[in-house]
A and B are shown apart, each in its own frame.
Chain A
């Protein structure tokens, strides 16, 4: 069905209440502050980035590691690998618990890809973050609390979609990743007022659906 949400599958969730400092350093954390880790794999990388950011809004946790795997979940290295490994870090295991709770809630009810052609062979991620958390605001160079449209689609669809999104509202591009990303998609982060971000995401999704139904014109 067109624009039906495709729920992300959480493939593994594990805690490391007291990780070895060498491990924490290797994954980009600070052993002085990051004793406790929470690790999650999921089959949708962009939903996970949004969910990791959501976790930083609910608990004193840092996202020390989040990387997409090459070619995406259809070509994963194992049954539990999915498309991304995200690592939350905190001083206390309790903070990790609350962070993981927010992260899983976001994956179950908020962030997800949408079916763009009714057969799930073209998908689109036209997500509006109403207020950025500490993680994505740092990645995007925006103040925490700013709204952002997080837009992902396959290469050509994303190109047409981004043009439509930029022309639909008073938004500016914070980051544009032309294809291919690690998972062979293309990605764009836009910011502006919340209404503008919503209008941009709608225009993006509509354009991707249009390309998916009429690929040659």
Chain B
């Protein structure tokens, strides 16, 4: 949203003007880049060719003289643009309510402020705190929070799907799941405050992760036992790259439920949690199929 229009809306509220403004015209949507199947370039080094098949990193991309090939540069720029668009996106206004969540927001008042002030994104606004206290079930086993984080695109696309899958997987393990909450302008540590208010044994925040090249749609999940303000990252376990080309949401849900159950059993989380007792379900070191890089630009 335009900065000046935000300022004038705030001033208007401060002056106590009554009626609400007519809705702003919708912004044009960002067209997705054309997805093409990658045609591998003739590779002279067998090692580079094999290595490139096992990662989506820019490996074995060849060179033209001392430079990258034009299509590689274009691909890089297209992937960077996807990441920029994801960071700049915001959740639609009534997304939480429309998807059956309790909608809360943090102390960040605008998207720009949210990006510049991580500290404000870690605490609930006063109105949202009251909302959580009045509407959320207390004393549950697992409190799930869906949030926009640094990629509202990812949250809007698969946030609800991942939430439902995790809730099902937790219930199947006999864990009581709390009232679903969706947070706007939220950072990871917000789970501490929401978990503390609801008195949950384990808090789990599912949020859009900082986009990498070409992955604007990735979600991360951060799980903490005994959530309370003041917990550090050493107290958390996390799974990243939850998207179709990384860990699929359904597989991630099974792992997250196993993590939550283990935390409740061992009464700890983070570096002190014994992951060795979880077995394969928590993401063992088994075989991982080669990933294929999505081609975003034509030659």
Contact = CB atoms under 8 A, between A and B. Distances in A.
Contact of A206 (B1, B11, B17): B11
A201 interface: yes
A128 B5 CA distance: 9
Interface string A175-216: 000000000000000000000001001100110010000000
Contacts of B19: 1
Contacts of B22: 4
A4 to B, nearest CB: 6
Q: Report, as a range, how many residues of chain B touch the other chain.
A: 20 to 34
B8 A109 contact: no
Given A4-B21, A109-B25, A127 B4 contact: yes
Given A109-B24, A206-B11, A5 B5 contact: yes
Contacts, number: 56
B12 interface: yes
Contact of A3 (B1, B2, B17, B25): B17
B39 to A, nearest CB: 27
Contacts of A69: none
B244 interface: no
Give the interface SS of chain B, mostly helix, strand, loop or mixed.
loop
A127 B17 CA distance: 20
Nearest to B9: A3
A122 interface: no
B15 A130 contact: no
A205 B3 contact: no
Contacts of A3: 8-9, 11-12, 15, 17
B8 A114 contact: yes
Contacts of A202: 7, 10-11
Q: Report, as a range, how many residues of chain A touch the other chain.
A: 20 to 34
Contacts of B9: 3
A105 interface: yes
B28 interface: yes
A5 B22 CA distance: 9
Contacts of A206: 11, 15
Most chain B CB atoms below 10 A, which of A4, A7, A108, A206:
A4
A68 to B, nearest CB: 20
B3 A130 contact: yes
Most chain B CB atoms below 10 A, which of A3, A126, A198, A205:
A3
Nearest to B13: A3
A131 B27 CA distance: 21
Interface in B11-57: 11-12, 15, 17, 19, 21-22, 24-25, 27-28
A37 interface: no
A2 B12 contact: yes
A209 B15 contact: yes
16 contacts: A1-B21, A2-B12, A2-B17, A3-B8, A3-B9, A3-B17, A5-B5, A109-B1, A110-B5, A111-B2, A128-B7, A198-B3, A202-B10, A202-B11, A205-B11, A206-B15
Q: What are the nearest 10 A-B pairs in CB distance?
A: A110-B2, A3-B12, A2-B17, A127-B4, A3-B8, A128-B4, A202-B11, A114-B8, A128-B3, A130-B3
Given A111-B4, A112-B5, 11 more contacts: A1-B17, A2-B12, A3-B11, A3-B15, A109-B2, A109-B24, A110-B4, A110-B5, A114-B8, A205-B7, A206-B15
